[in-house]
Amino acid sequence: MQRADVTKIAVIGLGKMGVDWVANLVEGGYNVVGFDVSEASRDKAPGALAKGLGWIAKKRHAEEADFAAKAQARFTVVGSEEAFAAELATSQILLEVIFEDLQLKCEVLARLAPKLPADSLVWTNTSSLSVHTMGVAARRLGKFVGTHGMNPVYQMPAVEVVRHRDLEPATLDLTLEVLRGIGKEPFVASDVSGFWVNKHLVPFMLEAYRALERGEITVEDGDSGLKGSLGHPQGVFKLSDFIGADTMYRVAMAMYLATQDPRLYPPAILARMFKNNELGVKTGKGFYQWDGFKPTGPRDFSKFTISSSDFLLEV
């Protein structure tokens, strides 16, 4: 299969990451069919896509008056897994964007991947999980590759393309070609826990959470210091709110279970935020308070400073 043969891409998982991927794909001219088991996610997807396309139109297609409307028309949401499976028969790529749960991803891929034509590819947007294991579940190892988009996908150019030991070279070549064709800047990483980006980013972020938990830094000073000293565009706590405490917890725990490295065990502050639905931008409350995508101020975490051996028993 050549890049010119790719005209239709199926996306399973229409949360924020999934819809952001859809925005990039329809921007690139592809017809996209999407499904999510959550009715709420399916209902919200067109509106969320419209917002993303509005940003893309302003930043990259200002000269095209009807760009957003034409791109939106290339996206279709179906209402059942059965209808989605039927669409796979005419799809050249299946992109899986389910949250970081290896068992769930494998179960869904095992059901859906066999519905694709023999030469179609499967992409998984995972930030830490074993791509090879998912390829086995999908029963098409040679045509199964990791495509880890950065958040937000349609704004961030990089895509971490994860190569496992049984990947066919033609699959990697076509994946890189398609991604470059939609304006991405892919780079190839190995199928190890955390791949390249999170292998370095996650320990860094977890240590920032622990510093906050120890009372060594505040949210505001922590982010300001990283921006002014290391050139970070937003700081670690604001980045965490964009990623989501739920995603950070799942990624860290998956990496810990894969490596048994104690540095990767999620700290109590992250587990508490996940449990309390303080996920960041997506819930309006995380390390900052949020009004949509605009932070309205950092939160005070001083009462959560671990100061005694009984602290975790009291909170």
Domain containing 211 equals 197-305
What single string gives the DSSP state of each residue in 233-247? SS-HHHHHHHH-HHH
CA distance 266 to 234: 22
* Cα 52–chain centre separation: 15
The mean pLDDT of the chain is 94
What single string gives the DSSP state of each residue in 256-271? HHHH--GGGSPPHHHH
- What share of the chain in percent tops pLDDT 70? 99
Digit-coded pLDDT (tens) for 35-92? 999 999 999 999 999 999 999 999 999 999 899 999 999 999 999 999 999 999 999 9
Residues 165 and 116 in one domain: yes
| Domain stop point among 149, 169, 190 | 190
Whether pLDDT at 293 is above 90: no
Label residue 233 by pLDDT band (50, 70, 90). Answer: confident
* pLDDT for position 71: 97
* pLDDT for position 315: 57
Provide the domain count of the chain: 2
| Domain stop point among 190, 209, 228 | 190
Kindly state the average pLDDT of the residues 263-267.
95
Digit-coded pLDDT (tens) for 193-231? 889 999 999 999 999 999 999 999 999 999 999 999 988
* pLDDT for position 309: 81
* pLDDT for position 199: 93
Please, are residues 249 and 270 in contact by the beta-carbon 8 Å criterion? yes
Residue 313 within a domain: no
Residue 131 within a domain: yes
Give phi and psi for 127, each to the nearest 5.
-105, -5
Region of residue 139 (left: phi > 0; alpha: psi -120 to 50; beta: else): left
Digit-coded pLDDT (tens) for 16-41? 999 999 999 999 999 999 999 999 99
CATH of the domain at 247: 1.10.1040.10
Residue 165 within a domain: yes
Label residue 152 by pLDDT band (50, 70, 90). Answer: confident
What single string gives the DSSP state of each residue in 90-111? T-SEEEE---S-HHHHHHHHHH
CA distance 131 to 138: 10
CA distance 315 to 310: 9
Q: Spell out the residues 6+ positions from residue 58 whose beta carbon is closer than 8 angstroms to its own.
A: none
- pTM attached to this predicted model: 0.88
Whether pLDDT at 93 is above 70: yes
Using the 8-state DSSP alphabet, how is residue 113 labeled? G
Residues 14 and 136 in one domain: yes
Digit-coded pLDDT (tens) for 179-196? 999 999 999 999 998 899
Whether pLDDT at 114 is above 90: yes
Residue 310 within a domain: no
Residues 86 and 184 in one domain: yes
CA distance 266 to 240: 13
Kindly state the average pLDDT of the residues 121-140.
96
Alpha helix (H) ranges present in 62-196?
Answer: 67-72, 81-88, 102-112, 131-138, 169-181
| Domain stop point among 174, 190, 206 | 190
